[in-house]
Amino acid sequence: MQRRKFLAATGLATVGSFTASTVLLAGTTSPCGQSESAIKGLADGSSPRSWWLQQLLRMADPVWKNLAAGKLRVNMPVEVRPGNPMSRKSVSHLEAIGRSLMGLAPWLGTDLSSAISTDQPANAELESEIRQQANWRELVIKGLSQMTDPKSRDYMVMEGDNQLLVDAAFICYALLQPGVWEAIYQKLPEANRDQLVDGWLMTRKIKPYNNNWLLFSAMVELGLERAGEVRQDIVLSTAISKHNEWYKGDGIYGDGPSLHADYYNSYVIHPFLNMVLARYGSSNEPLIKDQKDRSIRYAMIQYRQIMPDGSFPIIGRSICYRCGAFHHLASVAFADGLTKDMPAPSVRAALTATINKTLGSANYSADGWLLLGLNGHQPTLAEDYISTGSLYLASAVFMPLGLLPTHPFWAPMTVGSPQPGAMPNALWADPTQVPPMDKAIYN
């Protein structure tokens, strides 16, 4: 019933018989969609950046404040779908840590002071954000110190359940974002750094499945290398070669040998491949070029999937990751990789809409924890491997907060601009504005 309510709200109630145009136009109120100013919290004139930051910190707050106090295991609920035979209590807390850190990391790593201009008057919003960033860096360092202290109630051992490999990899991915190693990892006491690296080493005992999990092992190897350990190149080369073998065309990889209709190309595959190739694949320039083309194509697909009201097609596994389905588009924006066919302010407006759609108050418990569901509390949407901690992958959509406030991503939008995507789905306003598709990317 809960799932049907969401489908009805997004215009997708007749999932079994919808047409392509039904999906693309779901929730559209006008050819150019709706303005960001229509969103509660932005209607008062707040900047999109400050609204984004508020949404991210609201999500991350209970995770990191409890972890820093050594009370995450005590206070974080571990909800699973009704009748789930799997206990997730041994992994859910590390999931919450690694996944929320993904979204926080780019913001924590950026040098906000470089946006201060001596030629401009004092910027109260920027000064406030700088203070918040300093406080959150301290909070995350305290939290990671608790996580890596054998005497802490929140000490996380990365050995046993296979799931621990996944979130060890998410922690590595977060710490390897620009500036984060210096701002967070190197500020940890030496004993805690050693414990964290020992945990990463333990995950080498976990054999990854023959699918996107190969990239988790590869990401851990990158973290170990950055920490001064000897990298196992066979792990990285296998992850790269297998995914290249599994490429299906049009920017989409199989999750293993088979194609899956879900968002794992965004949750994991493209963002992880981009980082692995950037740090390891320099000897294979043709593959790097291919992946860049594939990455841009999939980002374009994601951009066009978001409706003016923030809804998007509900397909495949792990839909409870909510707006984390757009991890890839967000990561491309953060890497300053958007093309002219995906104007940065338009991408921001699209992501703003889906954040607003899936992270409203109905998605949180009274204590501030994310609830199982996609838009509200819908526990039957969760797979058996999903629990409370899993949901914090939604934070990945906030990666563009790592861009300076002066970046074009945060620039005001011009309503009515003929540029494609001036608002989410403005493409429908003038079909001549649809950019041509590169057929070479299909191959």
Q: pLDDT category, 19, cuts 50, 70, 90? A: very low
Structure pTM?
Answer: 0.87
Q: Determine, yes or no, domain membership for 76.
A: yes
Q: Determine, yes or no, domain membership for 285.
A: yes
Tens of pLDDT, residues 425-443? 444 444 444 444 444 443 4
User: What is the pLDDT, as a whole number, of residue 64?
Assistant: 98
Q: Determine, yes or no, domain membership for 118.
A: no
CB 257 within 8 A of CB 244: no
Kindly tell me if the per-residue pLDDT of 41 is higher than 60.
yes
User: What is the pLDDT, as a whole number, of residue 375?
Assistant: 95
User: What is the pLDDT, as a whole number, of residue 414?
Assistant: 62
Q: Determine, yes or no, domain membership for 24.
A: no
Q: Determine, yes or no, domain membership for 32.
A: no
Q: Determine, yes or no, domain membership for 35.
A: no
Q: pLDDT category, 114, cuts 50, 70, 90? A: very high
Kindly tell me if the per-residue pLDDT of 187 is higher than 90.
yes
User: What is the pLDDT, as a whole number, of residue 35?
Assistant: 60
Kindly tell me if the per-residue pLDDT of 158 is higher than 70.
yes
Range of the domain at 192: 50-81+91-112+125-410+419-442
Question: How many domains are contained in the chain?
Answer: 1
E strands within 192-298? 247-249, 252-253
The Cβ of residue 436 has, within 10 Å, a number of other Cβ atoms equal to 6
Kindly tell me if the per-residue pLDDT of 192 is higher than 80.
yes
Instruction: Please tell me what DSSP assigns to residue 435.
Output: P
Radius of gyration, CA atoms only, the chain = 21
CB 407 within 8 A of CB 388: no
Tens of pLDDT, residues 209-229? 999 999 999 999 999 999 999
Q: pLDDT category, 37, cuts 50, 70, 90? A: low
Q: Determine, yes or no, domain membership for 9.
A: no
Instruction: Please tell me what DSSP assigns to residue 71.
Output: -
Report the pLDDT averaged over residues 370-394.
96
CATH number where 55 lies: 1.50.10
Mean pLDDT, rounded, of the chain: 86
Nearest to 141 by CA among 177, 182, 84: 182
CB 270 within 8 A of CB 298: yes
How many angstroms separate the Cα of 127 from the Cα of each of 59, 132, 133?
Answer: 22, 9, 10
CB 272 within 8 A of CB 174: no
Q: Determine, yes or no, domain membership for 1.
A: no
Q: Letter for the amino acid at 280? A: Y
